[in-house]
Chains A and B, each alone.
Chain A
Amino acid sequence: MLKRNGQPCQRTVPDYPGRLTDFEFLAYNTVFGGIEGNYRELALLSDSITHTEHSFSDVLAASSAPSEEGTHEIVAEKNGRQWEVISSLLKQRQSELLLCKREGNSTKEFAIVEKLAPNSPLAKARGMWFVHQTSNDARLLLQDFIENERQTLNLYANDIVASAQEKIDEKYPGEDMSRVIKAISVRCMKKSVLEEKANPIRHRQRAHGVRM
């Protein structure tokens, strides 16, 4: 039997290959309970982004279909620039990410636009249609969007782990809880990375021609 400081290490937790002692296991459950809400949110966002990745070809097809008057919602930035909404990419509680396009005489431009709650201070300052990225290539724009969303998830996951570290330091000062924090970190980070095999558009560098 594996022992650490005389304590048997038999306890297992999700996504972590190592074994924890009873004391570490108790600490893990206590600390994870404090971040569980954030972890669930992270998991939901990760699933939504994966869903967007899997609908990549449908969204791309919609972006290249000819525009017919009156079929898509038209939105306007605060500066008056108008966009036609092609597809919803990600819904959140207070906002929605949209793929939009606008056509000139011989040019097309695409944008990732966040629809903000109209009464929010940010919407009042910037307008309720917040443009994150633009490009004249819808494929590159979508690839870049998904890559950016994964990186954003990673920032969120890192912040959750930092919160867990705070709770550990608070509740177990002076104790070696490195395996507990490692186990929580592995579980959170797993949600912020992509299913590598399922996704053909992973691991590309920032697309050229995409403006942030």
Chain B
Amino acid sequence: METPTLPKPDPVPGQKERLSYSIHEAAELLGVDYYSVYRLIQRGKLRACRALRGKFLVPRTELLKLLTNE
């Protein structure tokens, strides 16, 4: 199987690999509605962490896991 890549979004110039993504960015990377990302988190199929003020962040490694069918 091809190794999945996460080519976008990359809004920080010069920073090639992000450590984590917002829900909207994760949705864009997975090609799903952002509500589907919340669903994946709620069902335990995608791990996320809480950032400042409780907003969700999805670690890059967790997105890659989902895209490699682990």
A interface with B by C-beta (< 8 Å): 41, 45, 92-95, 114, 116-117, 119-123, 125-126, 132-133, 148-149, 151-152, 155-156, 158-159, 161-163, 165-166, 169, 212
Contact = CB atoms under 8 A, between A and B. Distances in A.
Nearest to B52: A166
B30 A151 contact: no
Contacts of B56: 155, 159
Contacts of B4: 121, 125
For the complex, would chain A's binding face be called helix, strand, loop or mixed by DSSP majority?
helix
B53 A162 contact: yes
A156 B68 CA distance: 26
Interface residues on B, range: 20 to 34
A212 B39 CA distance: 12
Contacts of B41: 152, 155
Contact of A125 (B43, B54, B68): B68
B55 A166 contact: yes
A140 to B, nearest CB: 16
A92 B43 contact: no
B67 A125 contact: yes
Given A125-B69, A126-B69, A166-B53, A116 B31 contact: yes
Nearest to A152: B42
Contacts of B39: 114, 132, 148-149, 152
9 contacts: A95-B32, A119-B31, A121-B31, A122-B31, A155-B41, A159-B55, A163-B55, A165-B53, A212-B45
Interface string B15-49: 00000000100000111110110110111110000
B22 to A, nearest CB: 9
Interface of B: 4, 23, 29-33, 35-36, 38-39, 41-45, 53-56, 66-69
B32 A122 contact: yes
B2 to A, nearest CB: 9
Contact of A120 (B23, B31, B45, B54): B31
A72 B30 CA distance: 29
Contact of B23 (A148, A159, A169): A159
B55 A95 contact: no
B65 to A, nearest CB: 10
A92 B27 CA distance: 13
A165 B53 CA distance: 7
A10 B54 CA distance: 31
Given A95-B36, A125-B4, 15 more contacts: A41-B35, A45-B35, A93-B33, A94-B31, A94-B32, A95-B33, A117-B32, A120-B30, A122-B30, A122-B31, A125-B67, A156-B38, A162-B54, A166-B53, A212-B43
